[in-house]
Structure 1
Amino acid sequence: MNARERMLARLRAAAPSVVAPEDIDTIDQCIDSHYDNRCDGLPHAAGMQALVEALQIALTASHAQVLRATERSWPGLIAQRLEEAKVKRVLFDPSGKEGAALKQALPSSVEPHAYDRAIEVWKSELFETIDAGFTVARSGMASTGTLVIEPDAGSPRTMSLVPPLHIALVYADRLHADLHAAMRAEQWASGMPTNLVLVSGPSKTSDIQQTLAYGAHGPRELWVVIVEREGDAQVLAKRDPA
Structure 2
Amino acid sequence: MSAKANILAKLRKSLEGTAPVADDYDADLVTRPWSYPAAERIPRLRQLMEAVHTETHLTTTADWPALLEKLLADKQLPSLLIAPATAHGAQLAAHFAGREGLPRLKAYDRPIEEWKAELFDDTPASLTGSLGAIAATGSLILWPTREEPRLMSLVPPVHFALLKASEVYDNFLEVQRKQQWAAGMPTNALLVSGPSKTADIEQVLAYGAHGPKDLVVLILEDA
TM-score by length of 2: 0.86
Distance 2:179 2:138 in 1: 18
1:99 aligns with 2:92: no
Q: Mapping of 1:35-184 within 5 angstroms?
A: 35-38=30-33, 41=34, 43=35, 46-47=37-38, 49-106=39-96, 108-184=101-177
Q: Does 1:185 align with 2:171?
A: no
- Paired with 1:157 and 1:134, the residues of 2 have a C-alpha distance of 12
Task: Give the root-mean-square deviation of aligned CA atoms.
Answer: 2.3
How far apart are 1:201 and its partner, in Å? 0.4
Change beyond 3 A, Cα 1:112–1:19:
farther
3-state SS in 1 of match to 2:59: strand
Give the structure 1 partner of residue 6 of structure 2.
none
Q: Match of 1:31?
A: 26
CA contact (8 A) 2:133 2:168 kept: yes
Distance in 2, matches of 1:98 and 1:80, equals 17
Do residues 219 (structure 1) and 209 (structure 2) align? no
| Aligned 8 A contact 1:79 1:105 in 2 | no
After TM superposition, give the deviation of residue 19 of structure 1 in Å: 6.5
1:154-202, Cα deviation, whole Å (9 max, x unpaired): 1100000000000011001011112122112212122212221221100
CA distance in 1 between counterparts of 2:221 and 2:178 reads: 19
Normalised TM-score (structure 1): 0.79
Aligned length: 209
Contact 1:138 1:148 in 2 (8 A): yes
SS in 1 for 2:115: helix
2: distance between equivalents of 1:62 and 1:167? 16
Secondary structure of 1:31 counterpart: coil
Quote the offset at 1:208 in angstroms.
Answer: 4.5
Is contact 1:79–1:102 with CA below 8 Å preserved after alignment?
no
CA distance in 1, matches of 2:30, 2:102: 48
- Structure with greater Cα Rg: 1
Once residues 152 and 37 of structure 1 are traced to their aligned partners in structure 2, the CA distance between those partners, rounded to angstroms, is 32
**2 CA distance for matches of 1:155 and 1:53?**
28
Q: Which amino acid aligns with 2:68?
A: I
Query: Structure 2: which 5+ residue stretches go unaligned?
Result: 1-10
